[in-house]
Structure 1
Amino acid sequence: MNPSTSPATCQTPRSVSGTAQCGHSTLADLMRMLCTDTTGIPDTQQAAEMAVSLRRVPAGATLIHMGASSDALYFVCSGTFKIFRTDEDGYEQVLAFAGRREVLAFDALCMETHPTAASALEDSTVYVIRKVELHDFSRSVPAFEHELQRAGSRALGRTNELAELMAAVAAEVRLARFLLLLSRRMATNGQSPRRFHLRMGRRDIASILGVAHETVSRSFTALVAARLVHVSDRDVEILDMDGLKAYSRSTRRAQDEGGLVRARRPASPLAMVQKAQSLCPLAA
C-alpha cells in the first residue's frame, strides 16, 4: 500500500474521552474496508486524495456520549463496540454490538444530539467522517454514497436483530439466537462461523437479552448440556449448527414444548447440568 494513503500509527495523547487521533487516512482506504466485493473496490484518484481521520479507541473508552452533540459518523475499522442507553436511574441497557465495517452514530444523522452511547469492548479503531463532509464526499465520489447506504442499512438492521432476540420467551432460546447472530457476522467477515471469542461479558449479554446475568450462565449451561455448543471462558464453539438453528426457532418456553434440549439430555438431567457447569465458566 502507498505510504501516503496507509493509516497512520497512533502516537498522539488521548483526548478527555480516552480516544486518540491516529492521523489521517483517505476515503479510498475507508471504501476498500467497507466493500466486501473485491471486484467492486473503487480506486479513483479523487477518493485517494480526500483525507479521512482515523481514531484509536482503547478498550473501555467511550467514543460516543449519549446526549452529546452529533457532528460525525464513525466506521469501525477494527475492534468491537457496544451501543447502549443509560436510564435516569443509571441502568445501562445494551442495544447492540458493532464490529468491523459497521457504522456508529447513524441514529443521530438527522439529530443534533446522540440518542445512544457507544464504548469500545476492546482496543479499536474507527474512521471519522464529519457530517459537513458527507455531502461533498458523496458528490465527488458517487460510489461512496452507495457504501454509505449499505452501512446505514446494516445499522437499521440491528434494530430488527434486537426484536428477533426479544421475541423468544425462553432465555436459552434468546441466547441461541444471539450466538447464531454472532456466527453470521463472523462468516460475513471471512472468519469461522463455528468458533469465536466473545468480546462482551455476561452482564452485557444479559442486558441485550433482557435477562439477569445469572440466567445467561444457566442458559449457556443448558446449551452445553444439549451438546449444541462448547464453552471455555469466552471461547465458544458451535458443535451442532443445525441443532442450534432448530432450537433458536422456538418461541415458547423449553419446558412447554419438550424440545431439543430435553431430547438430547441423558436420564439424569441434574448430573449433566452439574457436569456442564464445570465446563462452562463464562467470564463476567
Structure 2
Amino acid sequence: MTPACSSAAHSPAAAIPPLKTRCSNCNLRDICLPCGMTPADVNGLDGLGFNRSKVKAGEALYHEGQPFRNIYAVRMGTFKSSLTLADGREQVSGFQMAGELMGLDGIANGAYASNSTALEDTEVCAIPYDQISGLAATSTDLQQAVSRLMSREIVREHSLMMLLGSMNAEERLAAFLLNLSQRLKLRGYAAGEFHLRMSRAEIGSYLGMKLETVSRTFSAFQQQGILEVDKRHIRIVDHAALKRVFDTRVH
C-alpha cells in the first residue's frame, strides 16, 4: 500500500506516483462500482487504474461550479454534500460514506452543482467520466451496471428527503438514524452503536430542523429510553421503538 519513491529527489512531482486502485481486489467491490458487473467488465475497470487520493477532515474534494471531470467513489471516511444559498448560507444535501459515489450532479451541465467536504480524514477513487463512458460504450452489461449504480445513488440521496416533507421532528430524526444505521450495517459496522461524523447543525440543515430542535429531539429520544447519547456517540437502545416513531407516519 506504500507508494514507491523515486531516487530523483530534485523532482518532487515524480517522487511519489499516484496510487492506483484495482476494483477486482477492493473490499468495497460488492457495494461500489463493480457491483453487478461480470468478471470481464471488472477486468476492464482494472485496466483504467483509478487514482486514489486522500482528503483531510474539513477539506473540500470539489466545489460548486468547478468543471466536472471525475466521479468519486468513497473508499474510506464520510463526506457531506452541500449547496450555497443566495444569502451565503450552507444547505446540506447529503452525506456519503464508503462505497458510495459523489459528483454525479456534474454530468448534466459539465460543472459540479454542489460542494463536497470531508467530515473526517478520507480516501477516494477518482473515476474519469470520459473513460468510464468510453468503456461502457463497448459493453452493454457494463453500461447497464454503471447506469444502475448511478441511479441507486440518485435514489438514495433523494428518497429520504421525499419522506421528510410531512414529518415532525421526531419522525425526521428517526428516519435519519435508521437510514444511517442501515448503511453502516451494510458495510460491516455495528448498526446499533456509532459515532456521528456530522455536527448537530449539519444534521439540522439536512433535515430542515433548527439546531435547538435537533438537540431537543436527541434528548427526548434519550429520555424515552430509545437512545443513549454522549455528544456524537450514539447507541440505539430500542431499535423497535425508533422504528415505530418512523413507521407511524410511513404507514
* TM-score class, shorter: 0.7 to 0.9
Partner residue of 1:247 out of 227, 245, 248:
245
Partner residue of 1:137 out of 131, 135, 138:
135
Say if 1:68 and 1:7 are closer, same or farther in 2 by CA, change over 3 A: farther
Runs of 5+ unmatched residues, structure 2:
6-11
Give the corresponding residue for 2:22: 26
What is the distance in 2 between the residues matched to 1:183 and 1:150? 23
Specify the SS of the correspondent of 1:28. helix
- In the TM superposition, residue 235 of structure 1 has moved relative to its aligned partner by 1.0
What is the distance in 2 between the residues matched to 1:78 and 1:206? 24
Give the corresponding residue for 1:227: 225
- Structure 2 letter corresponding to 1:108: G
RMSD: 2.9
Say if 1:21 and 1:173 are closer, same or farther in 2 by CA, change over 3 A: farther
What is the distance in 2 between the residues matched to 1:25 and 1:142? 23
Specify the SS of the correspondent of 1:34. coil
- In the TM superposition, residue 153 of structure 1 has moved relative to its aligned partner by 2.3
What is the distance in 2 between the residues matched to 1:56 and 1:39? 27
Counterparts of 1:109-258 in structure 2, within 5 Å, are 109-139=107-137, 144-157=142-155, 158-168=157-167, 170-251=168-249
Contact 1:9 1:23 (8 Å CA) reproduced: no
Of 153-162 and 178-187, the range deviating more from structure 2: 153-162
Say if 1:179 and 1:104 are closer, same or farther in 2 by CA, change over 3 A: same
Give the corresponding residue for 1:42: 39
- Structure 1 letter corresponding to 2:162: A
- Give the TM-score of the pair, scaled to structure 2: 0.83
Cα shift readout 1:157-207 (whole Å, capped 9, x = no counterpart): 211111223330x21221111110101101111221111110101010010
Say if 1:187 and 1:45 are closer, same or farther in 2 by CA, change over 3 A: closer
What is the distance in 2 between the residues matched to 1:96 and 1:201? 13
- Structure 1 letter corresponding to 2:24: A
Of 228-237 and 157-166, the range deviating more from structure 2: 157-166
- In the TM superposition, residue 98 of structure 1 has moved relative to its aligned partner by 0.6
Cα shift readout 1:39-69 (whole Å, capped 9, x = no counterpart): 9783765443332111111111111200111
Contact 1:64 1:119 (8 Å CA) reproduced: yes
Contact 2:48 2:131 (8 Å CA) reproduced: no
What is the distance in 2 between the residues matched to 1:178 and 1:106? 22
Partner residue of 1:59 out of 57, 60, 72:
57
- Structure 1 letter corresponding to 2:158: T
Contact 1:21 1:54 (8 Å CA) reproduced: no
- In the TM superposition, residue 116 of structure 1 has moved relative to its aligned partner by 1.1
- Structure 1 letter corresponding to 2:135: F
Contact 1:85 1:93 (8 Å CA) reproduced: yes
Percent identity over paired residues: 29
Runs of 5+ unmatched residues, structure 1:
1-5, 14-19, 253-284
What is the distance in 1 between the residues matched to 2:122 and 2:175? 26
What is the distance in 1 between the residues matched to 2:59 and 2:220? 34
- How many residue pairs are counted as aligned between the two chains? 237
- In the TM superposition, residue 73 of structure 1 has moved relative to its aligned partner by 0.5
